[in-house]
Amino acid sequence: MSSGRQILSLIHRFIEFVARGIFTLAAYIGGPAESQPPIKDLTLLHSATTLAFKIRNKQLSSEEVVRSYIDRIKEIQPILNCVVEERFEEALKEAKKCDEMLKSPDAPSVQVLAKEKPFLGVPFTTKDCIAVANMKQTAGLILRKDYVSKKDAEVIRLMRAAGAIPLASTNVSELAMWWEAHNRLYGTTRNPYNTRHIVGGSSGGEGCIQAAAGSPLGIGSDIGGSIRMPCFFNGIFGHKPSKGIVSNDGQYPSAHSDDQNQLLAIGPMCRHAQDMRPVLKVLADKNAEILNLDDKVDISKIQFYYMEDDGGQYFVSPVDQEIKCAMRKVVLHFEKAYKIKATKIHVRKFKKSIALWLANMTSKDNKDFSYELSNRNGNINILWEFIKWLMFLSNHTLIALLTATFERFGIKHGSEQYTKLIQESKDLYQEFKDILGEDGIFLYPTHPTAAPLHHEPLIKAFNFSYTAIINVLGLPATACPLGLNKQGLPIGIQARHRIYRLTLAVAEEIEKGFGGWVPPLIVA
């Protein structure tokens, strides 16, 4: 490492250390930390696939299940603030219709239902950016506070067709462009393991409600880590598909360019690894056929590659030793259980993760983040909004204004720098394709630290690079929890390969070996 790089690294670490102390003090002044309430209803512990099995076999009624989750949401919402809008009455009506249909003498067989409606009667939740008919779709923007979706997003339509019942929508960061779920419309969502800490973003409310057992499964979207970071911070599983597999129709903000659309992906978020495969089959619709998700995977034939950090990217926190240690345990697990010797690799271009992602995120025609903050009605006056923010009059969060400013002076679409970085992105994709081949899995930290304190991401802005680079590569990636650290906060890793069934099989194996989601206290 050069002396200049060392100096920058030391300065950054010092700033992080001082800021951490300030945020910690502010958190303690704000009051004692809270944890999610204990689980009293054991129905909440079932996987979504188990609930579906029990409902279609009439071992549980859909109404019972929906009521259990409504009660749980009412219990956790005052503490965690994860839900922004509910449709409890409508969900109960739909659950009753489901139960009546199952009691009918003309009801389809259990086998037919398992195939055609695999989530019959199972409630689910989704982030506020994904349209649900007759519900608000604000994306955390005050200018959209009264916007009501006229129709379901394609993924919601597919989930309904599979028999699932939308229950509620969950909180996000303002316009889904930050990794803390906080906005001026609905406030801040708090981590179920320690409310002084963040839940991640932008699908932070969804990660939170899953971890707190307020929903059996959820739908999130991911353009730079918005599924995987909340999964990591909340200790659950999540999957970001590759480009084009799941429809982005009905997601807001929608992409402005092919580059952005290739970064964006909608996918499942859930407590149990076994739920990801069937949910993905529903979401992928006709594309599920090309994924061969039901093909058996022989894990002993998989080659594992891993990196413990990004190689020292500027202004990115070093990876916590507990996360590195957890990854080594995963590597050791596969070595002992399957005689697989993982290969540690070093990909130099990972040091440019942020620059590569920013290049792929650029928009033509001045449709930058200041355009989004106006609800796509011109561009906001950023300087004037900062002045209003100082007087507590702005409709926008500080981080949204900082993001708009950063983008205004950042990489320009079509510039020489842009062209160079786009080519480097393509070169990196080819490099990974050559490394992984047909049977390789890449293990990589999801994030360099466990969930920071509220507002602490302001001084760790680029830590999302660990997930963002995978969006640039366009690879499917699965977030896998690995228990709690010494502070009682979730940690984990992400696994990726272009063949879906490999990453999902590895996630299921990691759940078996390391326990997966850690539930709150259970009251017998």
CA dist., res. 152 & res. 133, Å (int): 5
Please report which confidence band the pLDDT of residue 520 belongs to, taking 50, 70 and 90 as the band edges.
confident
Mean pLDDT in residue range 50-70: 98
The verdict on residue 58 lying in a domain is yes
CA dist., res. 470 & res. 75, Å (int): 36
Domain count, the chain: 1
Q: What is the pLDDT of residue 193?
A: 95
CA dist., res. 246 & res. 415, Å (int): 31
Which residues have a catalytic role annotated? 127, 202, 226
Helices (H) and strands (E) in the chain — how many of each?
A: 19, 13
Half-sphere exposure of 164 (CA within 13 A, CB side): 28
Please report which confidence band the pLDDT of residue 222 belongs to, taking 50, 70 and 90 as the band edges.
very high
Mean pLDDT in residue range 348-376: 92
The verdict on residue 360 lying in a domain is no
Q: Residue 464 above 70 pLDDT?
A: yes
pLDDT tens, residue by residue, 89-99: 999 999 999 99
Q: What is the pLDDT of residue 5?
A: 65
The verdict on residue 50 lying in a domain is yes
Q: What is the pLDDT of residue 523?
A: 67
Instruction: Find out whether 250 and 153 touch, Cβ atoms under 8 Å.
Output: yes
pLDDT tens, residue by residue, 234-259: 999 999 999 899 999 999 999 888 88
Quick check: bond before 202 cis, omega within 30? Answer: yes
Beta strand 343-344 with 218-222 is: unpaired
Coil, strand, or helix at residue 513? helix
Q: Residue 168 above 60 pLDDT?
A: yes
Please report which confidence band the pLDDT of residue 77 belongs to, taking 50, 70 and 90 as the band edges.
very high
Mean pLDDT in residue range 293-317: 93
Mean pLDDT in residue range 462-473: 96
The verdict on residue 480 lying in a domain is yes
Stretch among 18-27, 51-60, 140-149, 290-299 having the lowest mean pLDDT: 18-27
Q: Residue 2 above 90 pLDDT?
A: no
Q: Residue 26 above 60 pLDDT?
A: yes
The verdict on residue 99 lying in a domain is yes
The verdict on residue 70 lying in a domain is yes
Q: 410 versus 186: which is more confidently predicted? A: 186
Mean pLDDT of the chain: 94
Instruction: Find out whether 179 and 446 touch, Cβ atoms under 8 Å.
Output: no
pLDDT tens, residue by residue, 106-153: 999 999 999 999 999 999 999 999 999 999 999 999 999 999 999 999
pLDDT tens, residue by residue, 396-436: 999 999 999 999 888 888 899 999 999 999 999 999 999 99
The verdict on residue 108 lying in a domain is yes
Q: What is the pLDDT of residue 329?
A: 97
Please report which confidence band the pLDDT of residue 227 belongs to, taking 50, 70 and 90 as the band edges.
very high
Please report which confidence band the pLDDT of residue 35 belongs to, taking 50, 70 and 90 as the band edges.
confident
Stretch among 21-35, 37-51, 446-460, 473-487 having the lowest mean pLDDT: 21-35
Instruction: Find out whether 278 and 268 touch, Cβ atoms under 8 Å.
Output: no
Interior/surface letters 111-126, b for 16+ CB within 10 angstroms, e for the rest: eebbeebbbbbbbbbb
Q: Count CB neighbours of 520 within 10 A.
A: 17
The verdict on residue 350 lying in a domain is no
Stretch among 432-436, 440-444, 485-489 having the lowest mean pLDDT: 432-436
> In the chain, pLDDT over 70 holds for what percent of residues?
99
Cα torsion through 134, 266, 228, 40, rounded to 10: 40
CA dist., res. 456 & res. 443, Å (int): 26
Which structural domain, as residue segments, surrounds residue 195? 43-302+474-514
Residue 322's contacts (CB-CB under 8 Å, 6 or more residues apart) are 450, 485, 486, 491
The domain that holds 497 is classified in CATH as: 3.90.1300.10
Q: Count CB neighbours of 216 within 10 A.
A: 30
Q: Residue 189 above 70 pLDDT?
A: yes
